[in-house]
Amino acid sequence: MWRDASLYSRGFFVGRKFTRAGRQLFCVIYFLACYGAVQAAAAVPRQTPGFKRAMKVVTDETGRRVAIPFSVQRIVTLAPDLTETVYALGLEGKLAADTTFCDTPAAAKLKPHIGSPQTPSLEAIVAMHPDLVLATTSINRPETVDALLRLGISVYTSDPHTVRGMLDSIARMADLMGANEQGVGLVAQLQARLDAVHSRIAELPLVHVLFVVWEDPLITIGQNTFIADALRWAGAESVIVADQNYPQVSMEEIVRLQPEYILFTGNHAESNDDHELSRLRTRPAWKALKAIQMGHIVQVDDEITKPSPGLVGAIEQIARELHPGVFSSDGRGESIELQGGVTAEIFANMLWERERDFCAL
Amino acid sequence: MRPLTPQRILGICALLCGVLFAVCVVSLRMGAYPISVRDILSTLFNAAAGRREEIPVEFWQVVFGLRLPRIALGILVGASLSTAGAGFQALLRNPLADPYVLGVSSGAALGAIVSLIVAPHTVGAIQIAAFVGAASTIAAVYFLGRRGGQLDSPTLLLAGIVAASFLSAIIMFLLTMVTGSELRSIAFWLMGDLTAPPPTTNVLGWLGFLFFVFIVAAGAMYTTSSDLNLILTGEQEAKHLGVNVNRVKFVVYIAASVLTGLAVSVSGAIGYVGLLVPHVMRMLFGTDYRMLIPTAAIGGAIAIVLADTLARTVVAPTELPVGAMTALAGAPVFIYLMRRRMR
């Protein structure tokens, strides 16, 4: 097949007297095509029509200037933490749709879905007639937000990097959704719980921990993530200092640093601490960690992975586990729901992306 | 063997254009937002007649804001990649050549990653940086791939492959520096992604510009098509028959590289189409480049529009990367054609 090219084909259709004329014809056709393209570009109207509604212009947390209606009746969330915030504010009646990842609270699973946070269907979002779409930098892609804004849909993007940033973000979003009072109330209540934790552990030294995002390869958190900040609120500090958000670190480094506690998220949901511990004790490098030998491992609530109101519960849990001395007296233990699944999914997704980067090259 | 006539080429191209149009209509119809064919046609009709106010806002958003630009971009990318693939296969005289074999996609990826590190969240930065990266790679490989002042196919191939692996190594190093959200953008970009919004608000102008570049590059390649037929039988033979082999190689190299760079910078590295569509078209319509270049261009457009439609609808409302879909849907078709030909 490869060598079939025929010898009669020298010149453009010599037999049919098409040689020079053929090339000239092509030139004319290009010319017309280019002219047509330019004309079409000039002739057709450009922008999509805006909503004829009262709008206010706000600057979101990524610096985009966006117009948002004064009265927000239909909300679409693009991330599980945003869904949780909407529920915590008592605005579930206005939530038109969320993502396939949203499972907290359980009722969120019953809402219509517009796809996963990273590859939502823009059409499905349009079909929901949203007044406001909430996005977050922690899982959504900026391309999604830009595309929605192009369509004239109001999008507010939150960008929390700290626990306080999360609280501010909640207050701002509550205000945009017309729930200023609920927002202020929720933030005050969460802040009070944080202060209560802080007052107990403020005098204690920080506990050095390893926060395990993924076990093999070992991926942990960087210092700029809200998880690192949440750990500080809980009186702990990651032994790894890195500028990347989710750095991959070598086991040797961990053995050298010898963290006092190892924190896992609930993505090993089915196993309990003891089971986890016995499993890790059989693994060569992990065996060498003093924290493993002493049984210092903590399964942290999944909520730690989301900058949402549930994060405060996770902070309380970590603080109790790492500083049993100051918390033992009162036996106050808010029941913390464990939701398996979402963390595994987020981190699996993240990891899959990393892997894919390398495969795709 | 029947001689190839202009009529036959035009006829087959018209037929393929008909298929492309049908695929586009199907693609316009399908999606997470339900629109009937009647609504689509009336929307198109109203838009053509300039009666914007009669179109419901959402129809406008879905048809003109989302589906049509995506289809147009798909046509452009598919046609570019497939034409470039056909060009490289002739230039390197290697059936395994695809648009990315000479490292253009790695250069573009490097440019994209650098832009994400230097200027994240800047609309259009990725596309521009990717094109700069692709163009630099094209130039570097061109100078590395010459022997005795002339483009030498084996040297060019080796230079391209070495450049690709070198750039990939740099990319892997840089990827460790990129943080979460940028990593996400780059991952989707590397997979091939038609959803990224264009860098300007004037979408039509942008698409018009891209099509202009495509027409110029593909047209330049087409002027060499009869010479390519001869070069494929052997460079010496072609020289003896009066073909200016060096000029032809230069034109094909530049045209194919520009087409690849163009496609990669707007949509990321969509694999598979550039390799297989030219082969499919050879199986269907013969190996003559005067026929192959236009049919490959239209065939590539059909392939990408189909793949993207599937990517949008298979697991709706979530969307798959189009790059995954091209291989998934294309491989069985290719194997079927290949086996049938062997019988």
Q: Are A121 and B318 in contact (CB under 8 A)?
A: yes
Nearest to B226 by CA among B292, B150, B284, B299: B292
Nearest to B100 by CA among B259, B223, B235, B242: B259
> Given this model, what pLDDT does residue A343 score?
44
b/e per residue, B206-232, with b = 16+ CB within 10 A? bbbbbbbebbbbbbbbbbbbbbbbbbb
Q: Taking residues A208-229, what's their average pLDDT?
A: 86
Considering the domain boundaries, does residue A146 fall inside one? yes
Q: Lowest mean pLDDT: which of A18-32, A109-123, B321-335?
A: A18-32
Q: Best mutation site among B33, B92, B182 for testing chain A: the one with the most A CBs within 10 Å?
A: B33
Q: Are A72 and A177 in contact (CB under 8 A)?
A: yes
Q: Is A56 exposed, middle or buried (0-12, 13-18, 19+ CB in 10 A)?
A: exposed
- The confidence band for A47, taking pLDDT boundaries of 50, 70 and 90, is very low
Nearest to A31 by CA among B219, B294, B152: B219
Q: Given an 8 Å threshold on Cβ–Cβ distance, is B290 in contact with A129? A: no
As beta bridge partners, residue A236 has A207
Q: Taking residues A91-118, what's their average pLDDT?
A: 88
Considering the domain boundaries, does residue A323 fall inside one? yes
Which residue shows structure tokens 């804004």? A149
Residue A319 contacts by C-beta under 8 Å, 6 or more apart in sequence? Answer: A197, A200, A201, A233, A234, A235, A327
Residue A229 belongs to domain with CATH number: 3.40.50.1980
Q: Given an 8 Å threshold on Cβ–Cβ distance, is B289 in contact with A354? A: no
Residue B113 CB: number of other CB atoms within 10 A? 28
- The confidence band for A29, taking pLDDT boundaries of 50, 70 and 90, is low
> Given this model, what pLDDT does residue A36 score?
57
Q: Are residues A138 and A237 in the same domain?
A: no
Q: Lowest mean pLDDT: which of A42-46, B18-22, B286-290?
A: A42-46
Amino acid at B42: S
Last residue of a domain, one of A156, A189, A222: A189
- Quote the CA–CA distance of B27 and B7 in Å, as a whole number: 30
Percent share of chain A, pLDDT over 90: 13
Measure CB to CB from residue A15 to each of B3, B65, B185 and give the nearest one.
Answer: B3
- For A247, which residue in chain B has the nearest alpha carbon? B176
Q: Are residues A271 and A296 in the same domain?
A: yes
The predicted-structure confidence for A171-218, as pLDDT tens digits, reads as follows: 999 999 988 889 999 999 999 999 988 888 888 888 899 998 887 778
Number of domains present in the structure of chain A: 2
**Is the peptide bond preceding residue A205 cis, with omega within 30 degrees of 0?**
no
Q: Are residues A305 and A353 in the same domain?
A: yes
> Given this model, what pLDDT does residue B167 score?
92
Measure CB to CB from residue A37 to each of B3, B190, B208 and give the nearest one.
Answer: B208
Last residue of a domain, one of A123, A158, A189: A189
The predicted-structure confidence for A293-336, as pLDDT tens digits, reads as follows: 887 888 887 788 888 888 898 898 888 888 887 776 554 444 33
Q: Are residues A212 and A310 in the same domain?
A: yes
- For A245, which residue in chain B has the nearest alpha carbon? B179
Residue A114 CB: number of other CB atoms within 10 A? 29
Considering the domain boundaries, does residue A18 fall inside one? no
B31: region left, alpha or beta (phi > 0 left; psi from -120 to 50 alpha) = left
Considering the domain boundaries, does residue A285 fall inside one? yes
Considering the domain boundaries, does residue A276 fall inside one? yes
Give me the phi and psi of A209, to 5 degrees please: -130, 160
Interface size, chain A vs chain B, as Cβ–Cβ contacts under 8 Å: 219
What is the residue range of A132's domain? 55-189
Q: Given an 8 Å threshold on Cβ–Cβ distance, is B197 in contact with A33? A: no
> Given this model, what pLDDT does residue B101 score?
83
Q: Lowest mean pLDDT: which of A166-175, B14-23, B189-198?
A: B189-198
- Quote the CA–CA distance of A299 and A296 in Å, as a whole number: 10
Q: Best mutation site among B2, B195, B223, B280 for testing chain A: the one with the most A CBs within 10 Å?
A: B195
- The confidence band for B85, taking pLDDT boundaries of 50, 70 and 90, is very high
The predicted-structure confidence for B195-222, as pLDDT tens digits, reads as follows: 777 777 777 888 888 999 999 999 999 9
Considering the domain boundaries, does residue A183 fall inside one? yes
The CATH class of B71-342 is: mainly alpha
Residue B16 CB: number of other CB atoms within 10 A? 21
Residue A118 CB: number of other CB atoms within 10 A? 23
Last residue of a domain, one of A147, A163, A189: A189
Q: Are residues A314 and A288 in the same domain?
A: yes
Q: Are B291 and B228 in contact (CB under 8 A)?
A: no
- Quote the CA–CA distance of B12 and B17 in Å, as a whole number: 9
Considering the domain boundaries, does residue A33 fall inside one? no
Give me the phi and psi of A260, to 5 degrees please: -75, -35
Write down the domain spans for chain B.
71-342
Using N-to-C axis directions, what is the helix angle for B6-29 and B289-313, rounded to 10°?
10
> Given this model, what pLDDT does residue B121 score?
67
B146 is written with which tokens? 């010459």
Q: Are residues A121 and A214 in the same domain?
A: no
Considering the domain boundaries, does residue A17 fall inside one? no
The predicted-structure confidence for B113-167, as pLDDT tens digits, reads as follows: 888 788 766 777 888 888 899 889 988 988 888 887 777 888 888 999 999 999 9
ipTM computed for the complex:
0.74
- Quote the CA–CA distance of A106 and B311 in Å, as a whole number: 29
Q: Is A113 on the interface with B (CB under 8 A)?
A: yes
